[in-house]
Amino acid sequence: MRLCCSLLLLLLLPVSACSSPNFEAPSLVDSVRVLATRADTPYGAPGASVQLELLTVDGRASAAEPMHVSWLPAACINPPGDAYYGCFPAFAAQFQRGVELDSQLVSGDAFSFTLPSDIITSHASGLGEAYGLAVAFSIACAGHVEYRPAAAGGPPDAVPFVCVDGAGRPLGADQFVFAYSLVYSFESRRNENPELRAISYAGTPIDPGLGLTLGHCQQASIDDCPASKLDVDVPASSQELDPSNQTAAGSPLHESLYVQYFATGGKIANDTVVIFDPRAGRLAHTGDDFRAPQSPGEYRLWAVVHDNRGGTTWQEVALHVQ
């Protein structure tokens, strides 16, 4: 099982993007994956409705059962210490141990909920601007979900759910992802999702309707194949001011924006590429090397653009490898 965190405030680390089971190439999608979460309003005001959307992919070459995507039916509000696993003890009163839970979960890639009107005032006070926190949990499972919490005295962050086959046997990391998304609430702060105009290959924008046609890698090792640059067209207007990041004089700086690429074949050099810096703005060199798959066929490529305050957007294109 893999734990995936989609942070809707903090900069994502590569491990938070649901790495592949072998941990060698997080960009290669060859299993059940949750690649990203997007909120319609990355910062939600108290009482506001929040719509979350997952980018999920079943990259398995063959599958005994299809991947099912679902959400726990209610968001967890202001867990102790802001820790996502602080929500786990309450699950014991919601779910029966060792029985199939599929009918109790919210099915699909989208999930909506309403932030409580007192989400900020009921949150433990601390330094800085007051805020509230909601945690939404999602599951991608190529089987059936059961609640099986760790034994008493176990680690507090042990995932309390399993994905099982028809015989009740737990499935492995290539068939199960348990993810959580953090939605922060402020009285006045707002944030918009970045705009992703296009993915480009070798300097040319890819038409999402047509995809990209390219020849396959003909070398014995993919590392010996020629690489072409992937890049993204993100307008400067997507880099908003970040009130929490200030100069020594107290002036707000801008957000950081970065892109993550994923593909069902080929090789991508870097898991994460920064495209906008808080001080320098758009960086001069933001391309990422991509080597084509070694076998002809149909593949898929994704670019996921994040800002460091929870804004996220993505685009998918088809790869026609000849």
pLDDT in tens, 112-161: 999 999 999 999 877 678 999 999 999 999 999 999 998 888 899 999 99
Q: Does residue 27 belong to any structural domain of this protein?
A: yes
- C-alpha–C-alpha distance, residues 60 and 140, integer Å: 13
Q: Say whether pLDDT at 13 is over 60.
A: no
Task: Note down the domain range covering 304.
Answer: 198-321
Domains in the chain: how many in total?
A: 2
pLDDT of residue 20: 38
Unique residue bearing structure tokens 């039916």: 73
What does the mean pLDDT of the chain come to?
A: 91
Indicate whether 292 and 314 sit together in one domain: yes
Indicate whether 145 and 114 sit together in one domain: yes
pLDDT of residue 128: 78
pLDDT of residue 193: 97
Q: In CATH, what number is assigned to the domain containing residue 242?
A: 2.60.40
Angle at 78 between CA 70 and CA 37, to 5 degrees: 35
pLDDT of residue 154: 86
SS3 of residue 80 by DSSP: helix
pLDDT of residue 12: 28
- C-alpha–C-alpha distance, residues 293 and 298, integer Å: 10
E strand or H helix at 5: strand 2-7
Q: Does residue 220 belong to any structural domain of this protein?
A: yes
pLDDT of residue 18: 38
pLDDT in tens, 45-63: 999 999 999 999 999 998 8
Q: Does residue 192 belong to any structural domain of this protein?
A: no
Model confidence, pTM = 0.90
Q: Say whether pLDDT at 206 is over 80.
A: yes
Indicate whether 250 and 163 sit together in one domain: no
Evaluate whether 299 touches 263 at the Cβ level (below 8 Å).
yes
Q: What is the mean pLDDT of residues 278-303?
A: 96
Please, which pLDDT band fits residue 6 given cuts at 50, 70 and 90?
Answer: very low
Q: Say whether pLDDT at 104 is over 70.
A: yes
pLDDT in tens, 14-37: 223 333 344 457 999 999 999 999
Quick one: DSSP state of residue 249?
Answer: T
Q: Does residue 191 belong to any structural domain of this protein?
A: no
- C-alpha–C-alpha distance, residues 76 and 39, integer Å: 16
